Amino acid sequence: MIKIYQRYIIFLYLKNFFIIFCALEFFYAGVDFITNYKDLPSSANLQLLYISFNFMSAVSYTLPLSIVFAMIVSKFSMIRSNELLCMYSVGVTKNAMILPIFLSAFFLVFIYILLNFTSFTYAYEYRSNLLKYSQIMRSSSNLFLKYEGKYVYFGELNPLKQEASDIKIFDIENSELKEITTAKRGVFKNNVWTLEQVEKIKKPKIEVRENAGIEIENLESIQALEQFRPKIIENAHLGSQSLSIPDAWDAMKFFGAQGINMNSVKTNLYFLIFFPFFAPFAVVILYYYLPISGRFFNLALMNFGFIFVTLVGWGVLFTLSRFALNSIILPEIAILAPIAILSIFAFVLYGKNR
């Protein structure tokens, strides 16, 4: 059962979190809207969509900072009102004080990670498309890729609708063309492409004059290219860095099978899953360095110092992730190692205060 002081701490923390989170979101979206207003589409509906996608794309920046800032504001508020000192004096330990905040922060990060399993991840891409092309998703054209030993050509691909037109599949065996499959249209559904108005041209191996020649077969529809998701196709063609967790996982398997460097895809996956945990571990670490009372300290200056340290720490980790995205350093070193160090340090501090 949650104790009264724990309910109070959670309420105070979440209240400050939502205030700070909304403030940062509105600041980010407002500045961006003013900066790019002249380039926005004239349609009011598209402008509202642009603002909505802007809010969603800002979450990856504002959420971790809001989680840490909310702890700092909450604790300094309790220090000024002597609530923190009173709780310590009645036997509430430091660990008991930080645990509700850590669990709340962990829960917020968990929700954010769940959102990254959905198309929420593509908000920044949709926002950029509205700004450049006045449409949510632009179609890619003339894509030529290798997949499971086959060469695949898409005349036009729409990743949002998961449709494509003018599709050609070249089946090659031992450096010889074995079969060509062409389709006027294709739809990706249930993890497989359904090709429509198909023509299959089979080229048999001819050893003597009597062997059968080329065979042409026309079909209404066939299924092919299983697990070859449109976002993987677009990412391979355009080098897109915006992928949801399922698409990033599938892209890793796809690029790995083709022997392609996967650092950018791994960085994207680690950034979506592990990078947000910077916030709850930073909350624990900073908490143990907070003063108990403001009697001997300049609280305004200390508040600024903790916020500055948070911004510097987040900035360093974010910069390392950008380096990893450009294959300057390994993603394991840029993201996994710093988060692991933060988690170990946080648990060490928690253990020392038992």
Q: What tens-digit pLDDT sequence spans the chain (354 residues)?
A: 567 888 889 999 999 999 999 999 999 988 988 888 888 887 888 888 888 989 998 999 999 999 999 999 999 888 888 888 788 787 788 888 899 999 999 999 999 999 999 888 888 888 887 887 777 776 677 778 777 778 888 888 877 778 888 888 888 877 777 888 888 888 888 878 888 888 888 877 666 555 566 777 888 888 888 777 777 776 665 555 577 888 788 777 776 666 666 777 888 889 999 999 999 999 999 999 887 766 666 778 888 888 999 999 999 999 998 888 887 888 899 999 999 999 999 999 988 877
Using an 8 Å Cβ cutoff, are 68 and 17 in contact? no
Domain assignments of the chain as residue spans, ordered by start = 4-118+267-352, 138-228
Using an 8 Å Cβ cutoff, are 348 and 291 in contact? no
50, 43, 240: which is closest to 127 by C-alpha?
50
Q: Considering the entire predicted model, what is its pTM?
A: 0.82
List of residues 6+ apart from 40 with CB closer than 8 A: 33, 46, 47, 50, 130, 131
Element (H, E) at 158: strand 150-158
* Torsions phi, psi for 17 (to 5 deg): -60, -50
